[in-house]
Structure 1
Amino acid sequence: MKHLNQFNRLLILFTFFLPLTSAYSQNLAHKIDSIITTQFNDTSGPGGVFMVAKKGKPIYHKAFGKANLEWGTKLNPDAVFQLGSITKQFTAIAILMLEEEGRLKVTDPIGRYIPDYPAGDRITIHHLLTHTSGIRDFTKMQSLRDIAQKEMTPKMMVDFFKNEPVDFAPGEKFDYNNSGYVLLGYIIELVSGESYEDYIQHHIFSKAGMNQSRYASDRQIIPNRAYGYHQKEIGYVNKTTISYSIPFSSGSLMSTATDMLKWQNALNQHLLLSSAATKKVFSQYKLNNGETFTYGYGWHLRDINGIPSREHGGSIFGFKSMGVYIPSEDIYVLGLSNCDCLSPTQTTKDIAALVLASFQEQRRD
């Protein structure tokens, strides 16, 4: 009888708690909706997909707007977007995977792999990973327009910018740099003997179960593709066409919100890297003068209301992206947009701040 009474009390407590939990989730979802629709409010135009996950599982996942304006097709939560510079996360992890295999070291000078690179004896892989190399960013070169639609090999891309004057000596300052991540992709190819595309596909996407992720293409048929747009005075127009061999390992990957959560979970579960190597990825480093800067290997290391976060955004013709992870709470928030007129950056940060505060308040109650 005593055990029966305990069971009844637990049953009553569970029956009481379940509606509260459901009401809490609905209220949180409504608040997230409100943040998103402040900006993503054109139901007849391009839009975005947003996901919030807690402890590796989605608690919010919705699509807003159209995937294709010509056909009037709605975006769905599993649409495939171009990631832009979130690609750098995959490039950085690939480098650390090769280091764990003993095939390179982040302290290696790049001249060990590219002997004719100017000052290659002083610029290290670490400098490339942390945007402290001083190499000229190719996206700031006016001559970029001359090659924007050409099919370039990684070596051709490196040759395109390698003889440009440097902006500063290696390690002197942090300056976000796409050229450094193109060099990293080239080094991945030289060391692994595989193309960058194949290396990421075989060693990361396949291993993490990211079945809808890939190297970008405008020619191949990609099921559930979100088409990219610009907004002009006349209205929305199709995105500018570029060769994806140009951004290469600095910005040419595609994925879905579901696959990006698999990516985050693979990192947390050390599926790709050991805990020691993962710590290197998310450590803060110092400049030559001893000053600490807030970028690890492929992630900005920031905070939300004083709580450490790992963040990165991306932008490529027709698309913008933003991901925020809060390690202490295991909260992951991702925003993907198919118009470069709709940046999900602040929206994603605002959602992360809301969800963080919400879970903190729930614990206090």
Structure 2
Amino acid sequence: METNKEAMGTISIFKQGAEIYNSSFGYKKMESKERANENTRYWIGSISKTYTATIILQLIDEGKISFNRKLGEFFPGIVNAKEITIKDLLLHRSGLHNVTNDPSFEVWIAEPRSRKEMVARMKKFKPVFKPNKMTEYSNTNYVLLSYIAEEIENKSFEEILERRIFKRLNLKRTSFNDTLNLANNEAMDYFPENGDWSPITYQTNLTGTMGAGGIISTAREVNIFYNDLFSGEFLSDQTLKTMTTPVGDDLGMGIAVSTMKGSDIYGHTGRIDGFRSMAAYFPEEKLSIALTFNCGKGSMVKKMKRVLNAYRYTFK
């Protein structure tokens, strides 16, 4: 991948809860020729949705909220809020317009955005379809779910993540709602231009992305979370089964559910600015793979398949 200028970043592979492979390639900062390493942090984008879904499902297991609770109890001003349920939000079946599809959003989100500003922007758009009539991916759903978690817990989403996931798993290189900090062994992100990588200087401000894409982590620590989640460490058996049962378009709750090279897979891709990532768990093999890149071109799914092929060739 590095030789062909397809990507730069870190790959981690866990088998039965233990890391069996970790390799970084390319530069975390090209201008100073600083190479990435196993502790380099990357923005993981929409993989954050798996963490958000886990928190909401924990609250359901604890009886603090239910799948049938209505969005209107929290945000009555949003269209169809009286009909949209927590389950609809989790499964991308709310019909709410994807706020990130607005052509001006990329510039707007470069500044810090409060809950009030985010919700006001969501209210501007008409629904795409009636609640629970079809499935269509929308970042709006998971921004709202993180706000709902804050209401239920009476804490910031950062505090909720720290208490329920980060500290529980001793994830010292994982954080939420941060800004790019190159001094903390974080990668600068790049985009392909004229056969090389060019730096992205106009960054998303993660205060607005919330639970839809606000987490920064390492490949290893993403794998720790995915391995523990799908091994049953966070949710009841029934709730984990519900999470991993798709309802239309292979979308579960905070994950996609599909097959790859003949094996079932639970996973999610991530894309934010120049960062590209993918996390995958293969339940039959108790295998998890995390790709965290600070630049990339082409399909992350195809890259995951290549890593899976290399794993099977090497370790079997």
What TM-score, normalized to structure 2?
0.92
Aligned residue runs from structure 1 range 185-204, under 5 A: 185-204=146-165
In the other structure, the counterpart of 2:263 is 307
Q: 2:282 aligns with which of 326, 330, 355?
A: 326
Write the distance in 2 (CA, Å) between the matches of 1:135 and 1:59: 41
Cα drift, residue 348 of structure 1: 1.3
Matching residue of 1:278: 240
* Secondary structure of 2:21's aligned partner: strand
Report the equivalent of 1:258: 220
| More displaced 10-residue stretch of structure 1: 150-159 or 346-355 | 346-355
Say whether the 8 Å CA contact 1:337–1:343 is kept in structure 2. no
The amino acid that maps onto 1:177 is S
Q: Aligned pairs, how many? A: 315
Instruction: Quote the offset at 1:237 in angstroms.
Output: 2.5
Q: Provide closer, same or farther for how the CA distance between residues 128 and 230 of structure 1 changes in structure 2, counting only shifts above 3 A.
A: same
Deviations 1:143-186 (A, max 9, x none): 42452222111232122112311111112221111111111111
The amino acid that maps onto 1:332 is S
Give, in whole Å, the separation in 2 of the partners of 1:102 and 1:238.
46
Q: What amino acid is the match of 2:251?
A: Y
Query: Structure 2 matches for 1:55-204, cutoff 5 A?
Result: 55-145=16-106, 147-204=108-165
The one of the two structures with greater contact order (alpha-carbon pairs below 8 A, sep at least 6) is 2
Q: Report the residue type matching 1:56 in the other structure.
A: G
Equivalent residue number for residue 191 of structure 2: 230
**Looking at CA atoms only, which structure, 1 or 2, has the larger radius of gyration?**
1
State the Cα RMSD in Å. 2.2
Deviations 1:47-83 (A, max 9, x none): 1111122111122211111111121111112211110
SS of residue in 1 equivalent to 2:242: helix
Give the equivalent residue in structure 2 for 1:248. 210
Q: 1:271 deviation in Å?
A: 2.8
Structure 2: segments with no counterpart, 5+ residues: none
Matched residue, 1:5: none
Q: Aligned to 2:88, what secondary structure does the other structure show?
A: helix
The gaps in structure 1 that reach 5 residues or longer are: 1-38, 286-291
Kept in 2: contact 1:315–1:340 (CA 8 A): no
Contact 1:46–1:66 (Cα < 8 Å) also in 2: no
Distance between the aligned counterparts of 1:158 and 1:246, measured in 2?
10
Higher helix share: 1
Deviation at 1:357, TM superposition (A): 7.0
Given that residues 317 and 340 in structure 1 are in contact (C-alpha distance below 8 angstroms), is that contact kept between their aligned partners in structure 2?
no
Q: Which amino acid aligns with 1:151?
A: P
Give the residue type in structure 2 aligned to 1:306: G
Within 2, Cα distance between the matches of 1:161 and 1:340?
30
Distance 2:143 2:214 in 1: 10
Question: Which residue does the alignment assign to 1:213?
Answer: 174
CA distance in 2, matches of 1:301, 1:120: 27
Farther-moved stretch of structure 1 (161-170 vs 225-234) = 225-234
Identity of aligned residues (%): 26
